[in-house]
Amino acid sequence: MNGNWHSHWRHVFKLDPERDISDEALEAVCLSGTDAIIVGGSSGVTFENTVELMSRIRRYEVDCALEVSTLDGAVPGFDGYFVPLVLNTDRAEWILGHQLEGLREYGSFVPWEETAAQGYIILNGEATAAKLTGAKTALTEEELVACVRMADRLMRLPVVYLEYSGRFGEMAMLRAAKRAVNGAQLFYGGGIDSPEKAAEAAALAQTVVVGNVLYVDLVAALATVGAVKKVDGINRL
Ligand code: 1GP
């Protein structure tokens, strides 16, 4: 992989190291045709459970990246690393604080070519990540666009991530983000539990992230892969 290691991803499964997944389910996920697996979670992420999940995914060829949200869970050996910066919070530790701490400790080991910052905009107030970071989730479209421009134009972050984790978000907000984004890759995640929702999000976001449904309805989760690829097929006609 090179500096653009994530730019071709259209569909991604996000796996939580704290949650159990059987070998059979993991195999189905890794062989599903998804473009990548992201390992990440908002709570309970440790070195041990991250290494364990990574080594199980490593049996397959699929790209596998780590979203580094705690220092404990910073594990070498992934194909790529994402470092989230939460843009819609007043709590500086979630914008730059923990990240600086990480760089102080592990800065000389960071594989820079395979590391990308994500401008996170958390829009579901019920999500663990929102509570943890004190995100101001009730944004107007205008406020959202300002966040997107901050990430994309001013900070020139490679990824802008609209995060509705746990619920399917407003597509009008995603559309507004899509219009505002210039160079960044737009990720959408949250509440995708059917091919229809996957297709809706994939029509607007460059990369669609599917998480929770994997643990509750594997068949529906797997069907989201084909739905995203189909959107591209239709657009090419
Ligand atoms: C979570 O954006 C991802 O970080 C996916 O959200 O778990 O709701 O699918 P869900």
Query: Which residue from 26, 54, 67 is spatially nearest to 207, judged by alpha carbons?
Result: 67
**Do the Cβ atoms of 192 and 224 come closer than 8 Å?**
yes
| Ligand 1 pocket residue status of 159, Cβ below 6 Å | no
pLDDT digits (tens, 9 = 90+) for 47-79: 999 999 999 999 999 999 999 988 888 899 999
Count of structural domains, the chain: 1
pLDDT digits (tens, 9 = 90+) for 79-125: 999 999 999 999 999 999 999 999 999 899 999 999 999 999 999 99
pLDDT digits (tens, 9 = 90+) for 187-208: 999 999 999 999 999 999 999 9
CA-CA distance, 93 to 91, in Å (whole number)? 6
pLDDT at position 70? 85
Output b/e per residue, 189-219; b: 16+ Cβ within 10 A: bbbbbbbebbbbbbbbbbbbbbbbbbeeebe
Phi and psi for 118 in degrees, rounded to 5?
Answer: -115, 125
| Ligand 1 pocket residue status of 191, Cβ below 6 Å | yes
Q: Would you say residue 71 lies in a domain?
A: yes
Q: Would you say residue 5 lies in a domain?
A: no
Nearest CA to ligand 1 atom 1: 165
Q: Would you say residue 94 lies in a domain?
A: yes
Q: Would you say residue 111 lies in a domain?
A: yes
Nearest CA to ligand 1 atom 4: 165
Q: What is the DSSP string of the chain?
A: --TTTTTT-SEEEEE-TTS---HHHHHHHHTS--SEEEE--SSS--HHHHHHHHHHHTTS-SEEEEE--SSTT--S--SEEEEEEESSBS-HIIIIIHHHHHHHHHGGG--GGGEEEEEEEE--TTSHHHHHHTB-----HHHHHHHHHIIIIIS--SEEEEE-TTS---HHHHHHHHHH-SSSEEEEES---SHHHHHHHHTT-SEEEE-THHHH-HHHHHHHHHHHHHHHHHHH-
CATH code, domain carrying 16: 3.20.20.390
Query: Which residue from 187, 190, 189, 195 is spatially nearest to 32, judged by alpha carbons?
Result: 195
Top mutation candidate among 128, 188, 207, 212 for ligand 1, by most atoms within 8 Å of CB: 212
| Ligand 1 pocket residue status of 211, Cβ below 6 Å | yes
Over range 158-167, report the average pLDDT: 98
CB atoms within 10 A of CB 181: 20
pLDDT at position 2? 46
Q: Would you say residue 1 lies in a domain?
A: no
| Ligand 1 pocket residue status of 163, Cβ below 6 Å | yes
Q: Say yes or no to pLDDT of 6 above 60.
A: yes
Q: Would you say residue 3 lies in a domain?
A: no
Domain region containing 36: 11-236
Top mutation candidate among 39, 69, 192, 208 for ligand 1, by most atoms within 8 Å of CB: 192
| Ligand 1 pocket residue status of 210, Cβ below 6 Å | yes
Q: Would you say residue 4 lies in a domain?
A: no
Cα of 40 vs centre of ligand 1, distance in Å, is: 10
Across the chain, mean pLDDT equals 95
